[in-house]
Amino acid sequence: MEHTEKKTEENATTVTQFFFLGFSELPSLQGFLFGMFSIMYVIILIGNGFIIVIVKIDPALQKPMYFFLVNFSLLEICYVSVTLPRILYNLWTQDRTICLLACAIQMFFFLILAATECFLLAVMSYDRFVAVCHPLHYPVVMNPAKCTQLAAGSWLGGIPVQIGQTCQIFSLHFCNSNRIEHFFCDVAPILKLACGDTSVHELSVYLVAVLFVASPFMMILASYTRIIATVLKLPTGKGRAKAFSTCSSHLLVVVLFFGSATINYLRPKSIHSAGTDELLSLFYTIVTPMFNPLIYSLRNKEVIAALRRLLLKI
């Protein structure tokens, strides 16, 4: 018995690096995947960078809604840059190893930025709620100081909890294997490699997911319930259409992000599979950030008008 425990402990200390299995089952498509992800990364950088630049230089877009949109675009660039460059490196070099510290750092920043996105989407829904339901008070309520505080709170609010969660996960011993069934250091695949009973850790991860995913989503739901009730009371169809158009882009982004994140993190463990987890993670870590600039630019008349003014100047 003592010999078995000692052997398990020795095995636990030997894991100093992990090995990503994500996309390794597609050896003939490595070059294609590298090219596809490279194009997607460039689109994300250019699309979100374009929104940041055009909001900064166009006086007509100096509004709270676009202040939060700049924060959101900057967040998307950071969020994708935590995982995608590493994926590209793995595909290009076929070196899929990552040391324990680098894995912990990647998970920490991924969790922090994911929490920021949840909070920021909730703040953006609150901005739309005030604009639609209390238009006369909007300039006073959403003043520059309040907007800065809400944005700062979104960026910093999840840091203490995610520091604790990351430290908790990487304080575990890893003895089952060092092969991660994923393309980045996500919580669930790492916990699978830990020794012993991890049910307490899984429960804490679930509770944090509820806190950072379900709570902001409920705030968004409450905001849009009030928005829809207010819009339906407007006397003209033109007024209702204008009010809905200002919210439709944000609502679409909310559905895409929260839909895939909720399915991935809050579904029962019994129906998890490596392939499904990879596909869902790919959707909300790369695909959604790629579509967000298109959603906000093509569905927003003010952004399109600002683009036309910029092209005329050029």
- Banded model confidence at residue 299, pLDDT cuts 50, 70, 90: low
What's the number of CA atoms in the CB half-sphere (13 Å) around residue 235?
0
Scan for tokens 């982004």, then name that residue. 253
The sign of the torsion formed by the CA atoms of 168, 177, 89, 183 equals: negative
CA distance 76 to 82: 10
Would you state the pLDDT for residue 273? 62
Would you state the pLDDT for residue 300? 75
Would you state the pLDDT for residue 20? 92
- Banded model confidence at residue 109, pLDDT cuts 50, 70, 90: very high
Would you state the pLDDT for residue 76? 93
Q: Do the beta carbons of residue 50 and residue 293 sit within 8 Å?
A: yes
Q: Is the confidence at residue 310, as pLDDT, over 70? A: yes
pLDDT, tens only, 2-21: 444 444 444 444 577 899 98
Domains in the chain: ranges and CATH: 2-313 (1.20.1070.10)
Residue 180 DSSP SS3: strand
Would you state the pLDDT for residue 264? 67
Average pLDDT, the chain: 84
Would you state the pLDDT for residue 146? 95
Would you state the pLDDT for residue 219? 93
pLDDT, tens only, 119-149: 999 999 999 999 989 989 999 999 999 999 9
Would you state the pLDDT for residue 127? 94
